[in-house]
Amino acid sequence: MFFRGGVMKITQKVEQEINRQINAELYSAYLYLSMSAWFEGKNLSGFAHWMRVQAKEEEAHALKLYHYLFNRGGQVELEAIQKPKKQWSSALEVFEEAYKHEQKVTGLINNLVDVACSQSDKATEQFLTWFIDEQVEEEASADQIVQKLKLVKDSSTGLLMLDNNLGARKEE
């Protein structure tokens, strides 16, 4: 590492991994927006709202990483975002996929922490603790909805009640 304008510059390896994570967070936003569109098409506006809020959160995560990289003297390199899936068979399938996706993102964050540790980058390790805590919350939130959808099963009344409940999600 070297200093640039009083700031310890981030290593190339950590910079590369943060750029990869920015792309993953933007893909997450895109995936959740696609899920929101699927719910809109099913007239489940509460589910759609929940997913739109989630998409905005993922975009905010990408921007948090984006700004951090510049603050550390790094360079952001945006890549193409993979096209997300657009069809699911049920609300349960959507949320099971969202839960699995959050588990994947947790793995990516853990890998990023490992890279920062291997590069003796204490600042990045500290910065990433917020993301670790956030992923615990994200996984728990998606799993909670999966479990509720399993309880509801084929009950249209239960699905509509859950739709109403999810529509009340506040934007952060």
In DSSP notation, 122-170 reads HHHHHHHHHHHHHHHHHHHHHHHHHHHHHHHTT-HHHHHHHHHHHTTPP
Q: Does pLDDT of 3 surpass 60?
A: no
Mean predicted confidence (pLDDT) in 160-168: 96
Q: Does pLDDT of 105 surpass 80?
A: yes
Cα separation, 37 vs 89, in Å, equals 14
Rounded to two decimals, the pTM is 0.92
Q: Does pLDDT of 2 surpass 50?
A: no
Mean predicted confidence (pLDDT) in 136-146: 97
Identify the structural domains of the chain with CATH numbers, from first to last.
Answer: 3-166 (1.20.1260.10)
pLDDT by residue (tens digit) across 53-82?
999 999 999 999 999 999 999 999 999 999
